[in-house]
Structure 1
């Protein structure tokens, strides 16, 4: 049954609760725990294309609650969240625009109720083709090297173009420097210069503009590149 396990990542300030849940999940759930103070680790899940359910116990930390409900990066996950709360009045503060799918469970709760919510969200997760990503009305399928517009147009990408779009999508919400792009797309290759990257970006932009009618799909400033429609833009440092 190992291959069919539900992946669950649990953030909490209570290791004891984590241990109790882990013992109850047994063989059905691939359960892992992280301290609530490591919520910044969500950005790493985005880069790693984590495909599972994220449970966040916010019942003991008002500060963490406000941090996560306003987390703009959450909108790029297309992953299901379960929030554990103990105050029914604050649930309305969750910005539904930031989360594709989420559910709430209040303390005290029965383990069977939590497991039921996990199973429902897992069914929804399996219905989503994780190879297809929505980019402001366009569907990017990185397995087929293709971007399709909801208006009917489509373009095929070269392998490098595909890797560039995919990486910028992973880092959505951040401005990615040329150095970071070169390192992650071409690796440590001294023969590759920023001119190579700029040429690829130029050709990719032209292809997208002609094929999809999108002239502002990939944007840039003096710090680097980012995808249009990012709700916030922070500079991704060169390390």
Structure 2
């Protein structure tokens, strides 16, 4: 079975989904899965669930017991283990998409072969189905591991575009536009989009990309775009 966190939070067995309890059990399970093989201390869990480490540990124990029963009822092999000072998830024969994402990202970083790197990034990004942990009640962006996940995804998207261009392939232009909308301050992404459009013979769109970058940089930062963007604008204008 697979625990899915990179989109709607769910446990899937092929096409079949399994009930993961009420809001507290689902949130508790999500925090444990985000920790991977690491132990979440009792203080950390109570702080994450109730905003303070002073909450009753007996209340946490009740929710852990309920979660254990829920997991057993699904027939999955994952279990909640008690460790000194806290709890951890042992996935057993099950998988978690967040764990697979990190594995593919590590594979991409650890190869010198650009084709293999691209394949690893494709595999990592294919696991994403939307906003992480959709359907779980919590302010997820405030937790560092969720912010790190999103940042790793955006870095992978940018690197994938670079590799596709290096390998003579066309990057996903809409994905680059989405990245710019999400992070308008990142001039490197604007440069990638502008270069991809220029290489595809879409001169007008490439120049419009520069104009957007210029308006943002001057309007928000009080600076002209970076040298790489200005040089690329000159190249496009000259027909190079």
TM-score clears 0.5: no
TM-score by structure 2 length? Answer: 0.33
Counting strand residues as a fraction of each chain, which structure ranks higher? 1
Pick the structure with greater CA Rg: 2
Counting helix residues as a fraction of each chain, which structure ranks higher? 2
TM-score by structure 1 length? Answer: 0.34
